[in-house]
A and B are shown apart, each in its own frame.
Chain A
Amino acid sequence: DARVTQTPRHKVTEMGQEVTMRCQPILGHNTVFWYRQTMMQGLELLAYFRNRAPLDDSGMPKDRFSAEMPDATLATLKIQPSEPRDSAVYFCASGLGQGAEAFFGQGTRLTVV
C-alpha cells in the first residue's frame, strides 16, 4: 500500500528552536509538495519540487523556512528559528506530475510555544 510518510506526526517545541519535518514520497513519484494548513489561512502551498529540483517556494517565508530533497526518497522542511505563528499542520504530498494530482501524507502537527 503506497503512501506518503511524514515524521514526526506531532511536534511541540519552544520558540526559537529549529524544527525539521521529514517526508518520504511515494516511490516513483517525481513531484513533491509542502503545504501548510491553518484555520485562518486554510491550505497554502509552501514549496514544490519536480525531479528533486525546487521549482516554486514563493509561498515560504525565506528568512526562516527552507525545503530540500537530499535524494528522491526524502524531502525535508526546516524552520529556524521557529515562532508561535508557525503552529500549523504541515502536509507533504507527492505525485506523478499529471496536472497537480497529489497524494497527501498524514501531516505533522507543529505547536510552537
Chain B
Amino acid sequence: GEDVEQSLFLSVREGDSSVINCTYTDSSSTYLYWYKQEPGAGLQLLTYIFSNMDMKQDQRLTVLLNKKDKHLSLRIADTQTGDSAIYFCAASNDYKLSFGAGTTVTVRA
C-alpha cells in the first residue's frame, strides 16, 4: 500500500512562512491533498493537486509537487495564530486516501 511520511512538528513565528513537507511512495498516485485538523474537529480539506501539475497557488497556500522525487510541500505565507493545527498530507489512487501521521504546526507570537 501507499506510505506517506511527514515530519511531526513545526514551530513558526507569526508572520513568517511555514513549509510542511511530505513524501509518498506510490508513483501512480493521482491526487495529493492537504488537510487541516483543529483540536476536536474533523479534517478540513485545504487544497489538492493533480499529479500532472507541479504547483498550485490558492491565496496564502502554495503546493509544490516534485513527482520525480515523490515529494509534496505546503507553504503557508504570513502564518497566523489561526494556522496552528495538525496538517495531514494524503495521497490517493482512485478512491483510497493514504494519510501521513500529520505535522503539528505551532505558531508563536
Contacts of B41 in A (CB 8 A): 106-107
Task: State the Cβ distance, B89 to closest chain A Cβ, in Å.
Answer: 11
Across chains A and B, the number of contacting residue pairs, with CB separation under 8 Å, is 57
- Residues 70-109 of chain B, each 1 if its beta carbon lies under 8 Å from chain A, else 0: 0000000000000000001010101111011110000000
Q: Are B42 and A45 closer than 8 Å at their CB atoms?
A: no
Interface residue total, chain A, C-beta cutoff 8 A: 22
The contact of A45 among B35, B44, B88, B96, by CB within 8 Å, is B96
Task: Indicate if B33 sits at the interface (CB-CB under 8 A).
Answer: yes
Contacts of A4 in B (CB 8 A): 42
Q: Are B96 and A101 closer than 8 Å at their CB atoms?
A: no
Chain B interface residues toward A at CB < 8 A = 30-31, 33, 35, 40-45, 48, 50, 88, 90, 92, 94-97, 99-102
11 contacts between A and B (CB under 8 A): A33-B97, A48-B95, A55-B95, A91-B42, A93-B43, A99-B48, A99-B50, A100-B96, A101-B48, A104-B35, A104-B43
